[in-house]
Amino acid sequence: MREAYDVTVEEDAASSATVGEASSGVVLLGKYRLKELLGVGAFAKVYHATNVSTGQSVAIKALSKREVFRGGLMEHVEREISIMRRLHHPHTLKLFEVLASKSKIYFVLELAKGGELFDKVAQGRFSEDLSRRYFHQLISAVRYCHSAGVFHRDLKLDNLLIDENMDLKVSDFGLSALKDHVRPDGLLHTVCGTPAYVAPEMLAKKGYEGAKVDVWSCGVILFVLAAGYLPFNDHNLAAMYWKICRGQFRFPRWTSPELRRFLSRLLDKNPETRITVDEIIRDPWFSKGYREVRVQHKEFESDHEQSRHRGLNAFDLISFSSGLDMSGLFTDSGSSDCVERIVSGGKPANIMEKVEGVAKAEGVIVRKEANGEGAKLEGQRGNIMIRIGIYRLTDKLVVVEAKRRERRAGNGKGTKFWEDKLNPELQRLVYKAGDQK
């Protein structure tokens, strides 16, 4: 099975469980019992697991933090989490939660028991009716994503999964783009995706519209479903790109005239005249038996709106939200920094006043930031350094972040001050569900 959920896992001795090939029966982080290995990709392993409390079957995608940082994939991971948390559609794969240990990041995902759509087509091409059924579900999901400002940019059969009801689930949003990524010219410019599915305008490297390249990829998918092979394929990559840019392909003899006409509109090399998603819905071949899936978008702030919250980007807000425990995620596993966070209902000024009081009593110097929502704590000889940051999460809640480092090896004063003095006081400020602050 190709890696459909996508991003290597090295064994995690720091975790409560070792994730390895013989992992059946191991309980991960006290929450999920691992079963069989489902797939291995370039940057991840995916396991079948069950929730020890509910018995629910899930897929766990395990990523090595070291490989994520080393490979410069943090943005990739952040984007995938950010996007999957905002999508709630019957035909997009659900992200239940994200967990982290000192060296691993774990995506807990909906389990698609049917595997990849690719494997089904590899057994033989689909009838037009079955092709239409899956294309209905694909377009429903893509249309929903576009309305939420999400452009997938890597739609392919490998990223389309099948659940236990034989329904389609779109997965792998790591290469997706948001409307916020569009440049002033109104276009996206990052060249990405899979060669056989990439749109000609993306190859031209002059900018492209995310919605239109997704439509092209959908056209390639529909062609494969009905024909059993790719419309553009060649062992020589340059030759394949030449065919894509010229829109050069042949229909198999068994395709109906209606399907040929529809595919010609999907695989139109000119993005200006290519069919749009809204036009797809009205096409005679497509509309046969189509039922609109209506899903209400979950409220989600744009990156611009989130920028009003000091220092918090979209990924930060998601990581502090319900159902996510990512206490170990933000620091490189090779870093000497220790990072701890609490959510508090206290006012930033009162929290900072508490920090200053503890520091003063212990002879620790406080260097406050100009905005009053952050400070550095240093010992008289510079042997302690703790940075306190206070970030607005909601109107009533803030996140207090403590990053600490000992400047002098072997000097335990920083750890002692943190563990015996400052941390106990901060723990008194932790927000509890019944607080009325």
Phi, psi of 239, deg, nearest 5: -65, -40
Whether the pLDDT of residue 367 is over 70: the answer is yes
Whether the pLDDT of residue 426 is over 90: the answer is no
List C-alpha distances in Å: 203 to 53, 101, 194, 332. Answer: 49, 40, 11, 35
- Of residues 80 and 124, the one with the higher pLDDT is 124
Phi, psi of 378, deg, nearest 5: -130, 145
As to burial, measured by CB atoms within 10 angstroms (0-12 exposed, 13-18 middle, 19+ buried), residue 171 is buried
Domains, the chain, in order of start with CATH, read 27-110 (3.30.200.20), 117-287 (1.10.510.10), 336-427 (3.30.310.80)
Written as one letter, the residue type at 344 is S
Average pLDDT, the chain: 78
372 Ramachandran zone, left/alpha/beta (phi>0; psi -120 to 50): left
Average pLDDT over residues 35-64: 88
Token digits for 384? Answer: 């302690």
Residue 26 DSSP code: P
Whether the pLDDT of residue 10 is over 50: the answer is no
pLDDT at 141: 94
Cβ atoms of 61 and 46 closer than 8 Å: yes
Q: What is the pLDDT of residues 195-219, one digit of tens each?
A: 899 999 988 877 888 899 999 999 9
Whether the pLDDT of residue 20 is over 70: the answer is no
Percent of the chain with pLDDT over 70: 73
User: Catalytic one among 154, 158, 268, 316?
Assistant: 154
pLDDT at 253: 92
As to burial, measured by CB atoms within 10 angstroms (0-12 exposed, 13-18 middle, 19+ buried), residue 263 is buried
Average pLDDT over residues 156-184: 78
Beta strand segments in 101-175, E: 104-110, 115-116, 150-151, 160-162, 168-170
Burial 45-75 (b: 16+ CB within 10 A, else e): bbbbbbeeeeeeebbbbbbbbebbbeeebbe
| CA–CA gap between residue 49 and residue 282 (Å, rounded) | 41
- Of residues 104 and 414, the one with the higher pLDDT is 104
- Of residues 93 and 311, the one with the higher pLDDT is 93
Whether the pLDDT of residue 17 is over 60: the answer is no
Query: Is residue 172 among the annotated active site residues?
Result: no
Average pLDDT over residues 417-436: 76
* Lowest mean pLDDT segment, chosen from 31-45, 139-153, 349-363: 31-45
| CA–CA gap between residue 420 and residue 418 (Å, rounded) | 6
Average pLDDT over residues 407-428: 73
What confidence tier does 192 reach under pLDDT thresholds 50, 70, 90? low
* Lowest mean pLDDT segment, chosen from 56-60, 70-74, 257-261: 70-74
pLDDT at 284: 96
The count of other CB atoms within 10 Å of the CB of residue 350 is 12
| CA–CA gap between residue 111 and residue 60 (Å, rounded) | 9
| CA–CA gap between residue 314 and residue 112 (Å, rounded) | 27
Whether the pLDDT of residue 149 is over 90: the answer is no
pLDDT at 330: 43
Percent of the chain with pLDDT over 90: 33
| CA–CA gap between residue 205 and residue 125 (Å, rounded) | 33
List C-alpha distances in Å: 241 to 115, 191, 197, 224, 263. Answer: 29, 13, 10, 18, 19
Distance of CA 437 to the CA centre of its chain: 33
Sheet-wide strand order for 115-116: 115-116, 160-162, 168-170
| CA–CA gap between residue 342 and residue 430 (Å, rounded) | 6
Interhelix angle 210-227/257-266, rounded to 10 degrees, is: 150
Range among 270-279, 309-318, 361-370, 398-407 rated most confident: 270-279
pLDDT at 67: 77
| CA–CA gap between residue 6 and residue 14 (Å, rounded) | 24
Token digits for 23? Answer: 């992992």
Whether the pLDDT of residue 319 is over 70: the answer is no
Torsion of CA 287, 288, 289, 290, to 10 degrees: -10
Residue 330 DSSP code: S
Range among 10-19, 110-119, 380-389 rated most confident: 110-119
What confidence tier does 64 reach under pLDDT thresholds 50, 70, 90? confident
Whether the pLDDT of residue 378 is over 70: the answer is yes
382 Ramachandran zone, left/alpha/beta (phi>0; psi -120 to 50): left
pLDDT at 185: 54
The count of other CB atoms within 10 Å of the CB of residue 90 is 15
Q: Which residues pair with 28 in a beta bridge?
A: 32
| CA–CA gap between residue 208 and residue 200 (Å, rounded) | 10
